Amino acid sequence: MYAFHLTGNFPRPDELIDVSRQLDRGRTDEKEFEENLTSSARKVITLQMTNGLDKLVDGQLSWQDIFRPFSELLDGVKAGTLRRWFDNNTFYRVPIVYDRVRRNEAPITKYYRHDLIPNRERRKAILPGPHTFAKLSENTAYASFADLVDDLAHSLADVSRELIEDGYTFLQFNEPSLCRATSQELEIAKSGFELLARNHAKIMIHTYFDTVSHIIEDLLDFPVDCIGIDLYANDINAFDQYSFSHELSCGCVDGRNSLIEPVDQIVELITKVRDAIEPSQLYVGPNCDLEFLPYTVAEKKVRLLGDVRRRLNGQ
Amino acid sequence: MVNRLFPTQEIGSLPKPPWLLSYLRGNSLDRSDLDHLEKWSYALNFESKSETLEILNQPKTNERQQRLRQLASLFGIRFLESSGLDIVYDGEANRIEMYEHAIRNANGFEFYGRVRSFDNRYYRKAACVRRVGFRVPYHLDEFRYVTEHARKEVKVPLTGPYTLAEWSFNEYYQRTRMGTRTDLRTIKEDAKRELLLDVANELLKPNIESLVQAGARWIQVDEPALATRPEDVPLFVEAFNECTRGVNCKLSVHICYSNYQSLYPHVLELKNCSQFALEFANRDSSRKSAYEQLQLMKDAGESREIGLGVIDVHVNMIEEPRIVMERILMASKFIEPLKIYVNPDCGLRTRPWDVTYSKLRNMVAGADLARKLTGA
């Protein structure tokens, strides 16, 4: 019934922050940075395994933001100027779409470290969803938003196929912008997910930072296996009238506050969600990336997930 | 108070002098540090160059560090005065940065580590772990030093309650509301308001009062975080009114990189604010003047002074005085000239010293041109 996972970028440990700063200043080389990156990713994976998380991510420690790897993995996209990432004091580089978007030859292994996750069936990859990608890009190449979403979906589907070949069984597409999508945009996004769903992996669409109660009926029509909802932005009572044939990912650990939630409270919330919505599978995790927290706090949040898991499993 | 049209004012931070940073970090001074001191001491007629050099050439002690910080403050004052500004401070020479300086000197907060701002840039973010409380008047010594040494009118910049609360994790107030409640969204919203009002009442208010008691005649409340959540403007208004209630000095608010229309009508309820200092130059272009927004603000009922951002602080390009003049005159079409103060968009801390100086000098020259053209 319950499965546990992380839903976004993990913060870098202090030593990796220091090495990355030194790299910027020319005081160390790529080799040292890569070594530190690998050892840090191992640490993040071990942390998840120790706490019994069911799906494992590499922490995406090399990513500067959710879109940055794709300015390298896709032709037609480059990183632009800084813009605020929703209502956070964190900024991303706007993807500039300057030409037709296509998957190129750059290897995905730089950004998806499947080699570090030993158990194939537990490998989970996180990607930007095509709607959010298009919405937050500066489009100078496509005449219509729908065409851009379509090509992004094709390109992300190509990346997904490679991920599946590398053993990933669970693909999460982050779609925070979908919370404010119009009816027409929801239709376009749905078409994009129809492309992504052709691949043989479990597909999750993850929404966060905002309420989705007004679009939940549309989301339930999306051809995805799992829907992620941020419970720090949504009241769970708003969903109990809907029949959830999908699996549900419950964002009940706050990735934007250092407070370590009481285990009892999370357990009670999950139980309430289970009883109200009765999803076929309930994933439990943070509402968003833990990257908004210092590393040591993010570690505690993962341990909290482990404690909740043990409590729910009656251990 | 300055008694002429289009007074020019600082808005916040300057870069930190490299010789100060090298000394505080325990690094040996290099040629460029000394060249910086030499060059600018000459340009600014900085009266304490010899003493500064003497300290820089001696091993670090607490006393010497403290004195060097004062000298850096004096250096900042002279820099702003020499550029011709009418209203000055010290470029926040002794503040780590606008958030951390206040929080490290308050009760109730702990720093856990670094959080990414962008790319490989990080900042230290504190958590509020106990009830917010006043510890020391954290700008008082700095203010006394500046007023003692400044030859121009002084305005004290101070980080506002909304920004301090918004940039902190909220543990204490959320925990006290949690229990076993499961309506996480409501808990978080309620806790946010509680933290904000305590920052306003328990931290900002005593700090503002201490400055006024020490003779401050003008305090600028900086609220850059207000750009993050326009829906929080009513909360900001409530907090500002709380921490400035009964305060007897001129108060202004600096906001930047926001949608100013989203501030209205709520900011009309700010009870003790006589000026809005706003960024405009960053968004000005030949196709559309940013200053036309002043008409929308006026239509919304705005009648206070405007601190007019005429210098873009994010680029090294030096605005010509003519551009500054045109921006001032454009603004004059929408608001009474008597209500216009002239300033950079925001603090200039990220620009090189040469660029900063040239920008400020040209800003002052542009204000002069505008005055001449309006016959003032």
State the CB neighbour count (10 A cutoff) for residue B217: 15
With b for 16 or more beta-carbon neighbours within 10 A and e for fewer, the A203-242 pattern comes to bbbbbbbbbbbebbebbeebebbbbbbbbbbbebeebeee
Which among B112, B170, B183 is the nearest to A294, CB-wise?
Answer: B112
Interface test with A, best of B118, B129, B162, B262 (most A CBs within 10 A): B118
Interface test with A, best of B120, B177, B223 (most A CBs within 10 A): B120
Domain total for chain A?
1
Would you state the pLDDT for residue B180? 60
- In chain A, the percentage of residues whose pLDDT exceeds 70 is 100
Q: Does B116 touch chain A (CB under 8 A)?
A: yes
**Under an 8 Å CB criterion, which residues of A touch B?**
11-12, 14, 17, 20-21, 23-24, 64-65, 82, 84, 87-93, 231-236, 252, 254, 257-259, 261-262, 264-265, 268-269, 272, 291-297
To the nearest whole angstrom, how far is the Cα of B282 from the nearest Cα of chain A? 14
What are the chain B neighbours of A23 within 8 Å (beta carbons)? Answer: 120
To the nearest whole angstrom, how far is the Cα of B224 from the nearest Cα of chain A? 10
Would you state the pLDDT for residue B59? 95
Tokens linked to B339 = 């209500």
Would you state the pLDDT for residue A196? 96
What single letter denotes the amino acid at residue B314? H
Q: Report angle CA B44, B45, B50 to the nearest 5 degrees.
A: 115
- The values of phi and psi at residue B9, to 5°, are -140, 155
Q: What is the pLDDT of residues A25-38, one digit of tens each?
A: 899 999 999 999 99
Nearest to B293 by CA among B341, B327, B253: B327
**CA closest to A22 among chain B residues:** B120
Tell me the mean pLDDT per 10 residues along chain B, length 376. 92 95 92 96 97 96 97 98 98 93 97 95 96 98 98 98 97 87 86 97 98 98 90 96 97 92 95 96 86 95 97 95 97 96 96 97 98 87
To the nearest whole angstrom, how far is the Cα of A177 from the nearest Cα of chain B? 16
**What are the residues facing A128 on neighbouring strands?**
A174
Q: What is the CATH number of the domain that holds A215?
A: 3.20.20.210
To the nearest whole angstrom, how far is the Cα of B254 from the nearest Cα of chain A? 18
**Crossing angle for the helix pair B62-82 and B31-44, to the nearest 10 degrees:** 50
Q: Report angle CA B367, B83, B227 to the nearest 5 degrees.
A: 70
Do residue A21 and residue B116 have CB atoms under 8 angstroms apart? no
Per-residue pLDDT band for A244 (boundaries 50, 70, 90) equals confident
**CA closest to B118 among chain A residues:** A91
Would you state the pLDDT for residue A315? 61
Do residue A257 and residue B114 have CB atoms under 8 angstroms apart? no
Would you state the pLDDT for residue A219? 96
Do residue B185 and residue A88 have CB atoms under 8 angstroms apart? no
What are the chain B neighbours of A232 within 8 Å (beta carbons)? Answer: 184-185, 188
Cβ contact B298:B336 at 8 Å: no
**CA closest to A18 among chain B residues:** B120
Cβ contact A58:A117 at 8 Å: yes
**CA closest to A270 among chain B residues:** B182
Q: Within 13 Å of residue A146, how many CA atoms lie on the same side as its CB?
A: 9
**ipTM, interface predicted TM-score of the complex:** 0.94
Judge whether residue A146 has pLDDT over 90: yes
**CA closest to A209 among chain B residues:** B185
- The values of phi and psi at residue A285, to 5°, are -170, -170
Peptide bond connecting A130 to the previous residue in cis, omega within 30 degrees of 0: no
Do residue A90 and residue B183 have CB atoms under 8 angstroms apart? no
Domain that holds residue A189: 2-312
Q: In what order do the strands lie in the sheet with B106-118?
A: B106-118, B121-134, B169-170
CATH architecture of B18-373: Alpha-Beta Barrel (3.20)
Per-residue pLDDT band for A150 (boundaries 50, 70, 90) equals very high
What are the chain B neighbours of A64 within 8 Å (beta carbons)? Answer: 118-120
Would you state the pLDDT for residue A1? 83
Per-residue pLDDT band for A245 (boundaries 50, 70, 90) equals confident
Which among B120, B225, B229 is the nearest to A21, CB-wise?
Answer: B120
pLDDT, average across residues A203-228: 96
Which among B118, B127, B225 is the nearest to A91, CB-wise?
Answer: B118
